[in-house]
Amino acid sequence: MAEKFKIHGGESLKGEVSIGGAKNSVLKLLAASILVKGCTKIYNVPDLTDVSIMLNVLSDLGAKLIYDKNEKSVVVDATNITSVTAKYELVSKMRASFTILGALISRCKEGIVALPGGCAIGERRVDFHIKGLETLGAKIKIENGYVHAKAPKLVGTDIYLDIPSVGATENLMLAAVTAQGSTRIQNAAQEPEIVDLANFLNTIGADITGAGTSEIVINGVKQESLHSAEYTTIPDRIEAGTYMAAVVATKGKALIRNIYPAHLTFFNDKLIKMGANIKLADPTTIEVSCRNRLTSVNFVTQPYPGFPTDLQAIAMTLLTTANGVGIITESLYENRFMQVPDLRRMGADIHQDRNHAIIKGVKNLTGATVAASDLRAGAALVLAGLMANGDTIIEKLHHIDRGYEAFEHKLHKLGAKIQRFNDEISVNNMGVLNESRL
Ligand code: EPU
């Protein structure tokens, strides 16, 4: 059944919200857990479609899983890995499952993983992953849409990435954990999720230094020395940024709990320049508020610690009603302005030329029926719906469910008028949003 959101805009968000575990970290921690011939327990696992897909990938490989949604934990028992194949049916649904390749190479010396193909936001190639694994000594063939990698003996070496790719850095780190000797990844990605993966790997017995800088060194260890452990995933900085923007967008005031403010420095800085007030309430809580109309800013998306591409669409929504003209340059993906046509339908004044968008702030947005085209574009439309006059219907929620746990419930607790419904219930019959049904 196609589910949709109905949002009645104009409410200021107030109260507090707690941020869950980082999607883009936990997916890789789950992949990494197959390195251990035994059990690992991961805490702070959000309930997301993407997490379910990764659990299916692990289950197909023979891992036994216990997912406790109340405790938000997953136990992965990877004592027996009975298959080295990650099927197209799963990898095509979620590109992050390609990270299983490095983990399989480390654990089983072999991996057969479907090539993910492109996706809505861009071509998203995996050539750096493949080139790096070959540099480590893997023999790779691409046949029938699958990457077949054999690596009876990987030998540590220097690998230079043409761009600091998050996924390539992760796949290479995973493969190098049990390689002979030292691997040095230069121009490595520096995202907090990379640091989290390195910390997890060190917790199970790997020897990795430099994560969070552009040079990561992985000293190979014996597979047998990797051991069971428990680990807690870092908070999701993109989920946190989304709620901060939602509070600012609606001229509200709220505490955002369970975050690492240092992971959002660049984004916070832009919000403050736009007129938001951001105060540290305690080391993992910030207070966000905004009273006046925002002022436009310009930004360029960049690898961490630059402005995160995953918050670009959300920040664009803020610019749609800000005072002045803002220019966004998207430097990571070829096609990440998918939200533009729908924002225009809601009254935004946006001119797009290739990877540049010029946003002239209008007085207000108006509700419309729109559709999520990818995860972050979908979240941007939710924000637009919260800001707009009148009702907004958002279709294709499956994109949003990939990355925002209990989105409507958390927003509702902050005072938003938002409801999920499916086609069986006529929107006209819903009348005033019935909060008891949320
Ligand atoms: N690229 C290549 N060749 C490669 C690898 C990457 O050309 O071998 C290009 C990509 O096409 C892209 C750019 O390099 O244009 C950056 O890609 P990167 O590898 O850094 O991204 P990723 O690992 O595929 C992760 C996140 C994305 C996030 C990016 C950038 C996960 C599961 N995904 O993707 O998150 O946008 O890093 O920060 O970790 C999201 O959560 O909505 C999302 C898309």
pLDDT (tens digit per residue) in 227-248: 999 999 999 999 999 999 999 9
Note the pLDDT of residue 359: 98
Ligand 1, CB cutoff 6 Å, lining residues: 24, 27, 95-96, 122-129, 163, 165-168, 189, 309-310, 332-333, 375-376, 403
Note the pLDDT of residue 2: 87
- CA distance linking residue 50 with residue 240, whole number of Å: 18
Task: Give 150 Cα–ligand 1 centroid separation in angstroms.
Answer: 25
- Atom 5 (ligand 1): residue with closest C-alpha? 126
Task: Look at residues 72, 30, 48, 97 and name the one whose alpha carbon lies nearest to residue 402.
Answer: 48
Residue spans of the chain under pLDDT 70:
1, 117-119, 424-438
Note the pLDDT of residue 149: 98
Q: What Cα–Cα distance (Å) separates residue 35 from each residue in 125, 173, 294, 436?
A: 25, 12, 48, 46
* 3-class DSSP assignment, residue 111: strand
Strand 215-219 relative to strand 182-186, pairing:
antiparallel
Residue pair 261/22 in contact by the 8 Å Cβ criterion: no
Note the pLDDT of residue 437: 33
Task: Look at residues 161, 235, 159, 229 and name the one whose alpha carbon lies nearest to residue 201.
Answer: 229
- Atom 44 (ligand 1): residue with closest C-alpha? 310
Note the pLDDT of residue 436: 32
Note the pLDDT of residue 334: 87
- CA distance linking residue 231 with residue 41, whole number of Å: 6
* 3-class DSSP assignment, residue 142: strand
Share of the chain above pLDDT 70, in %: 96
Note the pLDDT of residue 432: 39
Main-chain dihedrals φ then ψ at residue 396, nearest 5 degrees: 60, 50
Note the pLDDT of residue 118: 60
